Structure 1
Amino acid sequence: MSSRPLIGITTSDHKSFLAWACDRLAVWRAGGQPVRLSPSREIPEGLAGLMIGGGDDIGAQLYGGEMRLDVRVDPARDRLELALLERFLPQQLPVLGICRGAQIINVHCGGTLIGDIYTTYDHVRRQRTVLPRKHVDIATGSRLHTLLGVSRCRVNSLHHQAVDRLGDALEVVARDRDDLIQAIEAPTHPYLIGVQWHPEFLLFNRPQQRLIRGLVDAARQH
């Protein structure tokens, strides 16, 4: 029997092969057995952890936001991820949200989102890049701080939505230089963390890979 815990990774049905390959490789290198979860696939038994990946915008109707016609949404994926959170969180199973994943965690917990940071705030700098160029400050004493082992780091940035009003039982544990929320976590949950950046694309950045290893380790210990 494999000692690798099964880690479900949510994707859309149209997600690119390259993005899925990065997700899969990151989880495998961290010691987990990656399992792809999408709206058209059956959810297997035995999942020990969940990584909610990046992707399309979250439907504005889920958090009382303004509907937009110039963005792509994926209602089927929204439903899938909300259902998975409904299943995972009461069981205290570990969850890591990446970009969209952090946002859907916040929405699930009753929070809201900024529909577009660039039209909402004039001062926000456009830093859309897979390279780690954005500076982020990590809250000392947070689980994220313990995992990364640093109080400041550089991350990549591919988002235009962001966490606005915080959901129940969540705390802000990282902000960028524009004061936008970059990471959230639930102090009372064994491992519920959402980051606005993409650690799966930073395969050779040791602090960032600790996020995914932390998920796998928590899944193994559950």
Structure 2
Amino acid sequence: MAEGARRPLIAVTGPRRGGRAPRFFVALALRLAGGRPLQVGPGRSAWPAGIRGLIVTGGHDVEPVLYAEAPEVMGRYDKERDAFESFMIDEALARDLPILGICRGAQLLNVRLGGNLFQELRSRRRRTSNQRTVLPLKTLLVEEGTQLHRLLGRERTHINSLHNQGIDRLGPGLAVSGRDLDGIVQAVEAPGHDFRLGVQWHPEFLFYSGRQRRLFRALVAAARRRAA
């Protein structure tokens, strides 16, 4: 089997500057899963040759103009990154490639499919903490019968939380596969597609967990099928 099929090339997006820790751990998780990461960011104007899957990493807030709304809070925006990752997601969707959106990546995937976001979550939390931490201190309730449920193998688990925005209205074709104890969306997926998943937590920082590594293995397996 050719290396491109055996160890498929996965694009990993990020900002022009910063974001080193998430991308490092995503690349590590991908290598452990049998994939080959290719780090890409703003400044690239063409789709990279040989890509068989896409991971959009976490970071800056998604600017509300992308879903035709006015800013409600003072966010941390990166227009250049928004434009680049929008291009990458749109191309991956058009090519029907496997996609994993992490935190901001899940939000932007939802936006590119026609959904919108809550610009802040603090006022919507009653049973969960606003604490931002890489430790798995938040409870995830997984919807039965979803791809996420099949991957994690349980209806309740613990995740970390580093976001202050969240998914509101779903983009067409997406379904909720996980929520927290406040009912805030924590995971979405696209039924009928091999692998199109967005998660609000950071599985790359939980790579020591076999269950979390399954997300990356499933992405690589789907990319392998595309390469073949």
Aligned counterparts, 1:139-150, within 5 A: 139-150=143-154
Gaps of 5+ in 1: none
Q: Quick check: 69-78 or 132-141, which moved more?
A: 69-78
Secondary structure of 1:210's match? helix
Question: Contact (CA 8 Å) 1:65, 1:113: kept in 2 or not?
Answer: no
1:30-61, Cα deviation, whole Å (9 max, x unpaired):
11100011002454201000001001000111
Rounded to whole Å, the distance in 2 between the matches of 1:45 and 1:152 is 39
Alignment CA distance shift 1:133-1:69 (3 Å): closer
The structure 2 residue matched to 1:6, chosen from 9, 12, 36, is 9
Gaps of 5+ in 2: none
Q: How many residue pairs end up in the alignment?
A: 221
Question: Contact (CA 8 Å) 2:19, 2:59: kept in 1 or not?
Answer: no
The alignment-based identity, stated in percent, is 43
Secondary structure of 1:212's match? helix
Secondary structure of 2:77's match? coil
Aligned counterparts, 1:125-144, within 5 A: 125-144=129-148
Aligned partner of 1:77 in structure 2 is 81
Rounded to whole Å, the distance in 2 between the matches of 1:102 and 1:177 is 19
Aligned partner of 2:29 in structure 1 is 26
TM-score, with normalisation over the residues of structure 1?
Answer: 0.95
Aligned partner of 2:52 in structure 1 is 48
Rounded to whole Å, the distance in 1 between the matches of 2:125 and 2:155 is 27
The structure 1 residue matched to 2:185, chosen from 181, 184, 188, is 181
Aligned counterparts, 1:141-220, within 5 A: 141-220=145-224
Deviation (angstroms), 1:91: 2.0
Rounded to whole Å, the distance in 1 between the matches of 2:23 and 2:90 is 24
Rounded to whole Å, the distance in 1 between the matches of 2:162 and 2:66 is 22
Question: Contact (CA 8 Å) 2:125, 2:182: kept in 1 or not?
Answer: no
Question: Contact (CA 8 Å) 1:10, 1:52: kept in 2 or not?
Answer: yes
RMSD between superposed Cα atoms in Å: 1.5
